[in-house]
Structure 1
């Protein structure tokens, strides 16, 4: 059953606790963070390469992506971020952004001033450790995506991505009976997996024909988790989740 959250802080806590155990006082401090909530349309940049941000964003609903463009304007999506993620947490310690982050679906984000995050980490050093672990897990996901794009064929590449999203969304309580909302176009998924939109359409058709996915509108369902994992050569170790099960 999918979980609903009463506040942005609660969602952040739920995500952090999937990789790090927090004390009650630390949770309370996160709940008290001032967070400015903003609704975004799909395709809006949140930060761009070269920006000097003074705040970080928490994804509250929908999906965002990290991307870069070639000089010819070709886009490579480096990773997707789901509710509970803080895609630009590294901007706390890097003065300039070397990547762009955009909404890839209609979404809601919460902006947190860096000064408030730094103060939180100074008062509660273990929260700083949790944030550090969050950035390390992000780096682990980047490595796995690099392996997928470089060495997996399109079919297992897409099956692997579905496995990853299922695990990450389940960790924050947003999966119901192996079903979740995926309001992302096939063109966007093609940019994320390094294949053409036409090829992505063929991969979707093959996954459906093999009974690995079912779609209804923006909803996607995975009837056979074990078969999906096998098709995607999926091992969840790289996600370092302490609290998640997609069984």
Structure 2
């Protein structure tokens, strides 16, 4: 059941019961599991369907010929990836898992039927795509302008708030399964640099990391240290674009 996706989309528009049933039907036709540290789709592959993460963590990445990797995005439950890939003949990047991932595959024809018959879902998918581009812009600023501590703190704030938006935060704590290498590849830092940054954030009381879980005792304090502004996530419009005449 795509409850995390529904919860996220309803930050933009209030979905009707019919909208929700249609999403559930589209996402429930074909599911499969992918183990940790495997590609869901690789650079050069033809995109055949849209993937929705139901459980687990994944990332979008590019890899250079010498093996160096740049993580471009993290995906959590409720995230769709590569709606725009239907316009491509082949992938120009890869999507890989960080943990075991349970996916729902939505084929192009089903997606087109879904958006044709349910305009609020179509508008919510546009919002989802716009937010994805906004996150890319913010990551570019992270790489170009923020210090190492600000980069790591900013990324942790973003992931925490995104998980909160889909109901996956409990008592200021959430899953954080990535390794220090993953954090380094996402922030343009070396693995050696990431470790002291995390230690500084811990010693300052801004984060607690234990058993692959992140706890943020004071989110506002971490946001201030990381120069984090939530505006690019556009999560402050709960149901704003609800059309009363559509039920």
Same fold at TM > 0.5 = yes
* 2:66 counterpart of 1:84: no
Inter-partner Cα distance in structure 2 for 1:12 and 1:110: 11
Inter-partner Cα distance in structure 1 for 2:6 and 2:219: 27
Secondary structure, in 3 states, of the residue corresponding to 2:81?
coil
Inter-partner Cα distance in structure 1 for 2:77 and 2:150: 25
TM-score when scaled to structure 1? 0.91
Secondary structure, in 3 states, of the residue corresponding to 1:140?
helix
Structure 2 alignment gaps of length 5 or more: 239-247
Inter-partner Cα distance in structure 2 for 1:19 and 1:104: 28
Q: Would you say the 8 A contact 1:68–1:76 is kept in 2?
A: yes
Q: Summarize deviations over 1:131-164 as a string: whole Å, max 9, x none.
A: 1111111000000000001110110111101110
Aligned partner (choices 166, 184, 195) of residue 189 of structure 2: 195
Q: Would you say the 8 A contact 2:60–2:71 is kept in 1?
A: yes
Number of the residue aligned with 2:126: 132
Secondary structure, in 3 states, of the residue corresponding to 1:51?
coil
Inter-partner Cα distance in structure 2 for 1:96 and 1:242: 35
Aligned partner (choices 23, 36, 43) of residue 37 of structure 2: 43
Secondary structure, in 3 states, of the residue corresponding to 1:32?
helix
Q: Would you say the 8 A contact 1:75–1:191 is kept in 2?
A: yes
Aligned partner (choices 8, 11, 21) of residue 14 of structure 2: 21
Q: Would you say the 8 A contact 1:18–1:172 is kept in 2?
A: no
Q: How does 1:107-122 map to 2 (within 5 A)?
A: 107-122=101-116
CA RMSD of aligned residues (A): 1.5
TM-score when scaled to structure 2? 0.91
Q: Summarize deviations over 1:95-153 as a string: whole Å, max 9, x none.
A: 33221111122222221112111111111232122111111110000000000011101
